[in-house]
């Protein structure tokens, strides 16, 4: 019995040392390489394509093709507001119908110049962080800023196609009248 207990204790100690060594080695390695200018340009272009399809065209099929099946969207006002690519597409479809009937207003999104940062996520894709502004579009009137906010987008490199996988949209502030 003592031998069995000693063997179990020795095996447990060896496994613990092995695990600790692996974790320490990972913690002491370099992080991902900095994002290249090409990657930054690619993701800024992909961002522009996504939001043009979303806001400018209400192109549900195009938006759905640009997001992963397991896409998630977190918003500071609503928590987890979307838990799949299909749900995101359906949310957009409903929004577009509400814009047509006047229940919702047409809008556009604008990146704050110089705010976007790109970080590589090894073996997955990349993440963009930045600030954006939203505007109400009313025919015959100047665009009216409605709010500002910050975002984190996790992009998955899916066989060379960059797809939106996770969004955290936060720190929203209503625009001051006349701004």
Distance from C-alpha of 5 to C-alpha of 11, rounded to nearest angstrom: 10
Q: Which CATH number fits domain 35-174: 3.60.21.10, 1.20.1440.230, 3.10.450.50, 3.40.50.720?
A: 3.10.450.50
For residues 95 and 114, what is the distance between their CA atoms, to the nearest angstrom?
Answer: 30
Q: How far apart are CA 177 and CA 41, in angstroms?
A: 34
The Cα–Cα gap between 138 and 175 comes to 16
What is the residue extent of each domain of the chain? 1-30, 35-174
Q: Are strands 117-121 and 106-111 parallel, antiparallel or unpaired?
A: unpaired
Q: What is the pTM of this model?
A: 0.80
Q: Could you tell me which residue, 27 or 91, shows the higher pLDDT?
A: 91
Q: Can you read off the two tokens belonging to residue 61?
A: 């099929």
pLDDT, tens digit (0-9, with 9 covering 90-100), for 128-141: 999 999 999 999 99
E strands present in 78-124: 79-82, 106-111, 117-121
CA-wise closest residue to 167 among 90, 87, 95, 67:
67
| pLDDT > 90? residue 35 | yes
Beta bridge partners of 153: 128, 167
Of 13-17, 26-30, 46-50, 126-130, the least confident: 13-17
């Amino acid at each position: 019995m003592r031998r069995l207990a000693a063997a179990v204790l020795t095996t447990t100690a060896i496994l613990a040392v092995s695990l600790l060594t692996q974790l320490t080695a990972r913690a002491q390695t370099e992080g991902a390489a900095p994002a290249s200018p090409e990657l930054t340009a690619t993701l800024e272009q992909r961002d522009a394509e996504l939001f043009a399809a979303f806001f400018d065209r209400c192109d549900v099929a195009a938006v759905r093709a640009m997001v992963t099946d397991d896409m998630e969207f977190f918003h500071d006002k609503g928590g987890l507001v979307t838990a799949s690519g299909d749900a995101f597409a359906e949310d957009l479809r409903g929004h577009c119908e509400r814009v047509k009937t006047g229940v919702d207003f047409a809008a556009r999104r604008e990146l704050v110049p110089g705010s976007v940062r790109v970080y590589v996520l090894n073996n997955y894709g990349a993440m963009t962080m930045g600030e954006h502004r939203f505007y109400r579009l009313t025919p015959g009137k100047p665009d009216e800023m409605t709010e500002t906010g910050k975002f984190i987008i996790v992009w998955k490199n899916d066989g060379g196609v960059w797809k939106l996988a996770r969004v955290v949209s936060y720190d929203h502030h209503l625009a001051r009248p006349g701004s």
